Amino acid sequence: MKILDQPEESAPSPGSAISYAGLIEKIEILRSTLRWSSKLERPEIEKLLKQASSLRDEVMQLSHKERFVQAAVAEPKRVDLTPGARRQGLLERSFIFEGTFGDNPKLLEALEIAEKAAPTDLPVLIDGESGTGKELMAKVIHANGSRADKPYISVNCGAIPDNLLESELFGHKKGAFTGASNDRKGKFESAHTGTIFLDEIGELPLSGQVKLLRVLEAHEIQRVGSDEPIAVDTRIVAATNRNLRQFCDEGRFREDLYYRLSVIHLTLPPLRERRDEIPLLLAYFGDEAAATLKRRPVKLSPRLRDFLKGYDYRGNIRELRNIIYRIACLAGDMADVEHLPIDIRPKSALSAVMNDVQAGGGVIAGATSLSEAKRTASDEAERAFLERGLQEVGGTVAELARRFEMNRSHLQMLLKKHGLHSKDFRHQAADKA
Ligand SMILES: Nc1ncnc2c1ncn2[C@@H]1O[C@H](COP(=O)(O)OP(=O)(O)OP(=O)(O)O)[C@@H](O)[C@H]1O
Ligand SMILES: [Mg+2]
């Protein structure tokens, strides 16, 4: 009896898990097993039942996927619509954004896939660089699904020591190991009827991957130290900032598990590929930071705004958010590049002056008291700042006042104080041209 000989934990190959041909083959084996056996013992019946259930799950999975694909094909081509219309469409269909901001086509595409995947129980794999919003997307999927009012349990697979992994995920029985002083539920049991978010799935050791695969196939777990199977019904959303396909090639991630988890695969683009969203995010996080810190929103100088629009954000949206919170904490009414973290701050004329000041040279060398040194350094910084500004605008004071968001007559007064003549900078600009 071929089917009975299959090892229980063996995973269907990626193809057979989601192909009709693979399913029919398995059903045929099951049929012939039943047809030719004169008598079945109870354990064999149990085994066959288990295999029939697993087949049923695979059929369900396939049919969900089919419906998903059909819905996608039947849809009018959303990418032809403007981003505003696509977002509006989501809103009209009562999509829950959970605070996800942005109109970038790649982000909208991810949201539209999430919209369709949410009501199904299909596993979703979300990948993308650190800080691109993977966890937020997992919450979006949960919130838009039929399990929204059921538990949402998040597990960071990278943060659990190998020896505690099984107990953390599946729970344990009292006395199962030293320190197991009570029966304890694992994350899968806690997520029963709801969603389990397996974050940093790429960090799961191979031993944990085998165990996870078994849960995905059998929909049941066993607490450590117990033989009793416990049925669990959880929707799985996994996330990683690793390239799991490459991990599979390198033998670091099981390919069968990869296919099981990635029935729906969402990739979130890095922020540098959706720069068009930066102004919106600056405003959004600016307001959020102001509300959190109970202060008025900080204005950004044009120079700082330009910097933030062009910066590379290796930490993606999380980094942008942290920068805005920092600025909201450190700046007065107006923030400028000096409020940026030192490691990303552009080297400017101003910082050159400050370096000079720190080195104790130049401008403060003749100061005889601390207050005089401070005043001199501050005056010098102010002058360098104005000078560079005038150079940048080719000596047009009105433009400089606009850039600095300063009153024009106040600016004129400062220029006079430092003996700066705007026409000198107009000449410089003309000479260069
Ligand atoms: N499109 C977005 N709109 C608004 N906020 C966002 C968006 N994407 C991400 N964020 C915010 O950015 C921060 C980082 O997002 P999240 O934790 O989901 O990233 P991640 O991809 O899971 O990162 P990591 O890989 O480091 O775990 C969070 O504060 C989240 O709320
Ligand atoms: Mg995360």
144 lies in the same domain as 288? no
Percent of the chain with pLDDT over 70: 84
| Probe residue for ligand 1, chosen from 101, 318, 321 as the CB with the greatest number of ligand atoms within 8 Å | 318
The residue to mutate among 95, 237, 317, having the most atoms of ligand 1 within 8 angstroms of its beta carbon, is 317
Same domain, 16 and 140: no
pLDDT digits (tens, 9 = 90+) for 9-64: 444 443 344 577 777 778 888 888 888 877 888 888 888 888 887 887 777 677 66
Q: Are residues 199 and 250 in the same domain?
A: yes
> How many domains is the chain built from?
4
pLDDT of residue 373: 66
Query: 154 CA distance to ligand 2 centroid (A)?
Result: 10
Residue among 50, 426, 86, 105 nearest 273 (CA): 105
Give CA separation, 78 vs 106, 255, 275, in Å: 12, 32, 21
Give the CATH number for residue 223.
Answer: 3.40.50.300
Please tell me what DSSP assigns to residue 253: S
Q: Are 293 and 330 in contact (CB under 8 A)?
A: no
Ligand 1, from 136, 274, 280, 288: best to mutate by most atoms within 8 Å of Cβ?
Answer: 136
Distance 271 CA to ligand 1 centre (A): 11
In a domain, 88, yes or no: yes
Residue 390 CB burial class (10 angstroms; 0-12, 13-18, ≥19): buried
Residues contacting 195, CB < 8 A, separation 6+ = 138, 141, 142, 145, 147, 150, 151, 152, 153, 234, 235, 236, 237
Instruction: Kindly give the number of the ligand 1 atom that is closest to the alpha carbon of 99.
Output: 4
Looking only at the bridges linking them, the beta strands covering 334-335 and 124-127 are unpaired
pTM confidence score: 0.68
Q: Which of 346, 375, 403 is the last residue of a domain?
A: 346
**pLDDT at res. 12:** 45
Among the residue ranges 132-136, 411-415, 424-428, the one predicted with the least confidence is 424-428
Residues 107 and 256 in one domain: yes
48 and 158 inside one domain:
no
Total residues belonging to the chain: 433
CB atoms within 10 A of CB 212: 24
423 and 369 in a single domain? The answer is yes
- Give, rounded to a whole angstrom, the gap between the first and last alpha carbons of the chain: 88
Residues with CB under 6 A from ligand 1: 99-102, 128, 130-136, 241, 317-318, 321
Domain that holds residue 293: 270-346
The Cα–Cα gap between 73 and 56 comes to 25
Best mean pLDDT range from 190-194, 204-208, 429-433: 190-194
CA 413 to chain centre: 48
Domain check: are 314 and 372 in the same one?
Answer: no
Among 48-57, 75-84, 173-182, 402-411, which stretch is predicted with the lowest mean pLDDT?
A: 75-84
Same domain, 261 and 288: no
Summarize pLDDT for 341-366 with one digit per residue, the tens: 888 988 754 555 555 555 555 555 55
Which is higher by pLDDT, 353 or 427?
Answer: 427
Are 153 and 247 part of one and the same domain? yes
